[in-house]
Amino acid sequence: MKSKRNLIIAMLVVLSSTFNSCATAQSSSKKQQYKVAVCDWMILKRQKLGAFGLASEIKADGIELDMGGLGNRPTFDSKLGDPVERQKFLDKSKETGVGISSIAMSGFYAQSFAKRETIVPMIEDCVKAMKDMKVKVAYLPLGTESDLVKNPELRLVIIERLKWAGKQVGKIGGVIAIETSLSATEEKKLLEEIDSKYIKSSFNFANAVDNGRDIVSELKILGKKHLGQIHASNTDKVWLENDTAIDMPKIKQTLDEMKWSGWLIVERSRDVTQVHNVKANYGANVAYLKKIFQN
């Protein structure tokens, strides 16, 4: 009788341990629904190994790693095409525990995606870097030169180029997330015209706020299907936690209801009274996003 009772107790202990392990795993998995990254060029570490150490110091989960400068070159000034240099970035990522949210083509902030003649090697280089570094998202800002609000005549050529780009990134099962100045309604139309599951939106809080649009409403219009990543910051003024234009808890609730998961990337939202203090600005914004999204 005693041995039978002991056996039952032992079984209960095992079951309890298994339950707790599953609950812990589920809790851990749930916490990973949202990860927080910083742009390497905004923390003054554009395609530098030091970006990982600094990101770790401010407790970011990852960095958005830039492809490098562009200028008049035929493609990006990138180290990522060199196997030896690329491995250094991968090793540093592993060493610090800081991931890579996406590969950024920030050169298109000022350069024209619609008019550049060397678009083919540029996209191919970015896709190769994604493949070699096992990164699933590339960030493509259409910038000032390909702003579809100011230059609607570029729409057809941009759509054709993005259709082609979608096919390239689709070969590795990745996504190119584009940032435009369009409203969510118009951007959704654009994505539907491109008609590629490999081209999505890189939604930027600042674009919505600057144009008097409600962030939550815009996210709902875009929907989970079209949302590749989020630049979760505003133009420089105050830290996110002090920004009355952004209702972060409501944004989280909306994304939860959409069942979206992915990277929240801090680009700006620097305090203008100490705009050059990288650790203070990005440390505060990362901490606030983690408090809201990972608590």
pLDDT tens digit string along 257-266?
999 999 999 9
pLDDT at 243: 98
Work out the percent of the chain whose per-residue pLDDT is above 70.
89
Average pLDDT over residues 142-171: 97
Contacts of 38 (CB under 8 A, 6+ apart): 55, 58, 60, 63, 64, 265, 266, 282, 286
d(CA 103, CA 119): 16
d(CA 115, CA 136): 26
Contacts of 103 (CB under 8 A, 6+ apart): 64, 65, 66, 67, 80, 126, 129, 130, 133, 135, 137, 138, 139
Q: Which amino acid is at 140?
A: L
d(CA 282, CA 157): 37
Pick the CATH number of 34-293 from 3.10.350.10, 3.90.950.10, 3.20.20.150, 1.10.240.10: 3.20.20.150
Average pLDDT over residues 75-90: 98
In the chain, where are the structural domains located?
34-293
d(CA 34, CA 290): 9
pTM of the model as a whole: 0.89
Give the confidence band of 295 by pLDDT, cuts at 50, 70, 90: confident
Q: Where are the alpha helices (DSSP H) in 151-204?
A: 155-170, 184-194
CB of 166 closer than 8 Å to CB of 176: yes
Contacts of 226 (CB under 8 A, 6+ apart): 187, 188, 191, 200, 201
Owner of token pair 């180029």? 161
Average pLDDT over residues 239-244: 98
Radius of gyration of the chain (CA): 21
Average pLDDT over residues 249-262: 98
Work out the percent of the chain whose per-residue pLDDT is above 90.
88
Of 111, 164, 96, 105, the residue nearest 130 (C-alpha)? 105
pLDDT at 5: 54
Decide if pLDDT at 273 tops 90.
Answer: yes
| pLDDT tens per residue across span 10-69 | 444 434 444 343 433 333 334 569 999 999 999 999 999 999 999 999 999 999 999 999
Q: Within 13 Å, how many C-alpha atoms sit on residue 84's CB side? A: 0
Average pLDDT over residues 105-112: 96
Q: Which amino acid is at 46?
A: R
The alpha carbon torsion through 40, 41, 47, 53 (nearest 10 deg) reads: -40
